[in-house]
């Protein structure tokens, strides 16, 4: 059994990690780390774990945990892991970080967008961006995995095949994204109160959201050229889910015609037909958050708009599963040679 430690176990992503790992045949949680609830029973924080988890919450002493756990999940705010990570810790355990501390390779870009100093930039180079469908082979040998965020996972996977194959003009790429409120975390914040969110929908982080450089960096690798996008997130009154709608101009073929639906579909199938957790929908179907809720699936669909010469790409996922904890478990499975879907055979919940 792989011994697992979780720092940030009482946040939404941390609790989702606990839920998923309870059903994992090869993993055992040995540390429920939570600075806010030290010595409090985990099941008293999350009553869904009543008579399932008997442990109490511990602190976030990474040095001690590294001597105990085979892998540590850090579901913590930006800057935590970068502030405590050492070579000694990495020699003793593997780390899957759910924050953005090691996702962006240019430390100056990270510091500019996140407005904090990076305390351990020496580890950025070796960190592997843990988007399994793209970096599967690199994940397997990593000591440090930068687990992608929810907006970024959905945005990148939705556009990746067409960017990689050069079917779209990336200078025209616009990403319109919607998120449920759990994406903002469990902390008490005025914009996330029920009366602020209910019966409301709003854009935020317009032209300034900090997931933008992460999306641009990964799509730039795919395009082998710099990619700049307009990314606009919106908060919607639901608990879980990400829906992205992406627009880009198609590149015309030598004869001046647009790529057909069938040609574009064949590109998506080339990349995803053997991917367990990416479902490319049939023609005429649009992704919906309700059909992926509680699961590790990403649903992707697209429409060719011949009138404007654009393709409209759509993706949906559960922000707490494939957008956070599920992807982290998927990375753990790759690290330790388990079946990639172990602990993640989750049929989407409905209603």
Query: Mind giving me the DSSP string for 38-101?
Result: TTSBHHHH-GGGTTT--PBPB---HHHHHTT-SEEEE---TTHHHHH--HHHHHH-EEEE-SST
Whether 191 has a pLDDT exceeding 90, the answer reads: no
Q: Where are the beta strands (DSSP E) in 180-283?
A: 202-203, 230-235, 242-250, 278-280
The reply to whether 55 and 170 lie within a common domain is: no
| Rounded CA separation 192/71 (Å) | 32
Whether 200 has a pLDDT exceeding 80, the answer reads: yes
Mean predicted confidence (pLDDT) in 204-212:
97
Identify the pLDDT of residue 340: 98
| Rounded CA separation 313/305 (Å) | 11
| Rounded CA separation 20/29 (Å) | 11
DSSP state of 349: P
Q: Are 246 and 302 in contact (CB under 8 A)?
A: no
- In 3D, which of 290, 292, 303 has the Cα closest to residue 153? 292
Question: Catalytic residue positions?
Answer: 150
| Rounded CA separation 293/344 (Å) | 13
Whether 310 has a pLDDT exceeding 80, the answer reads: yes
| Rounded CA separation 22/44 (Å) | 17
| Rounded CA separation 53/18 (Å) | 9
Whether 185 has a pLDDT exceeding 90, the answer reads: no
Identify the pLDDT of residue 190: 86
| Rounded CA separation 99/239 (Å) | 20
The CATH number of whichever domain residue 299 belongs to comes to: 3.30.360.10
Identify the pLDDT of residue 187: 79
The CATH number of whichever domain residue 22 belongs to comes to: 3.40.50.720
DSSP state of 186: S
Identify the pLDDT of residue 168: 98
More confident call, 190 vs 251: 251
Beta bridge pairs of residue 248: 311
The reply to whether 170 and 305 lie within a common domain is: yes
**pLDDT digits 0-9 by tens, 104-163:** 999 999 999 999 999 999 999 999 999 999 999 999 999 999 999 999 999 999 999 999
The reply to whether 69 and 119 lie within a common domain is: yes
**pLDDT digits 0-9 by tens, 130-146:** 999 999 999 999 999 99
Identify the pLDDT of residue 189: 82
Element spanning 154, H or E = helix 150-164
Identify the pLDDT of residue 65: 97
Whether 188 has a pLDDT exceeding 80, the answer reads: no
Average model confidence (pLDDT) across the chain: 97
Mean predicted confidence (pLDDT) in 206-228:
98
Position 184 confidence tier, pLDDT thresholds 50, 70, 90? confident
The reply to whether 101 and 156 lie within a common domain is: no
Mean predicted confidence (pLDDT) in 195-224:
96
Identify the pLDDT of residue 21: 98
The reply to whether 164 and 117 lie within a common domain is: no
Mean predicted confidence (pLDDT) in 57-61:
96
Position 32 confidence tier, pLDDT thresholds 50, 70, 90? very high
| Rounded CA separation 150/142 (Å) | 21
What's the structural domain count of the chain?
A: 2
Identify the pLDDT of residue 40: 98
Identify the pLDDT of residue 177: 98
pTM of the model: 0.97
Whether 320 has a pLDDT exceeding 90, the answer reads: yes
Range of the domain at 115: 2-126
Identify the pLDDT of residue 122: 98
The reply to whether 293 and 183 lie within a common domain is: yes
Whether 294 has a pLDDT exceeding 90, the answer reads: yes
The reply to whether 229 and 273 lie within a common domain is: yes
Taking the alpha carbons at both ends of the chain, their separation in whole angstroms is 35
The reply to whether 208 and 61 lie within a common domain is: no
More confident call, 195 vs 42: 42
The reply to whether 211 and 307 lie within a common domain is: yes
């Amino acid at each position: 059994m792989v011994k697992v430690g979780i720092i940030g176990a009482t946040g939404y992503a941390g609790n989702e990690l606990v839920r998923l790992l309870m059903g994992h045949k090869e993993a055992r949680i040995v540390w429920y780390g939570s600075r806010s609830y030290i010595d409090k029973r985990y099941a008293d924080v999350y009553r869904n774990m009543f008579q399932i988890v008997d442990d109490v919450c511990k602190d976030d002493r990474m040095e001690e945990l590294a001597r105990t756990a085979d892998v540590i999940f850090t579901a913590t705010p930006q800057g935590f892991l970068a502030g405590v990570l050492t070579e000694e810790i990495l020699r003793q355990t593997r780390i899957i970080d759910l924050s953005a501390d090691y996702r962006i390779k240019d430390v100056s870009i990270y510091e500019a967008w996140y407005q904090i100093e990076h305390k351990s930039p020496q580890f950025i180079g070796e960190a592997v961006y843990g988007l399994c469908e793209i970096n599967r082979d690199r994940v397997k040998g990593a000591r440090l995995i930068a687990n992608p965020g929810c907006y970024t996972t959905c945005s990148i996977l939705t556009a990746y095949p067409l960017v990689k194959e050069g079917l779209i003009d990336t200078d025209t790429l616009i990403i319109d994204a919607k998120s449920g409120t759990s994406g903002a975390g469990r902390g008490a914040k005025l914009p996330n109160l029920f009366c602020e969110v209910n019966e409301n929908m709003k854009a935020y982080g317009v032209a300034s959201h900090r997931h933008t450089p992460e999306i641009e960096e990964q799509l730039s690798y795919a395009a082998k050229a710099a990619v700049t996008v307009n990314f606009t997130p919106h908060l919607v009154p639901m608990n879980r889910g990400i829906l992205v709608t992406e627009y880009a101009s198609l590149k015309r073929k030598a004869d001046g015609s647009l790529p057909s639906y069938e040609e574009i579909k064949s590109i998506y199938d080339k990349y995803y037909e053997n991917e367990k957790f990416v479902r490319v929908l049939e023609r005429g179907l649009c992704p919906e958050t309700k059909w992926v809720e509680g699961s590790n699936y990403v649903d992707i669909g697209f429409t060719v708009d011949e009138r404007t010469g654009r393709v409209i790409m759509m993706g949906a996922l559960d922000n707490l599963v494939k957008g956070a904890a599920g992807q982290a478990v998927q990375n753990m499975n790759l690290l330790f040679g388990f079946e990639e879907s172990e602990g993640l055979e989750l049929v989407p919940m409905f209603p």
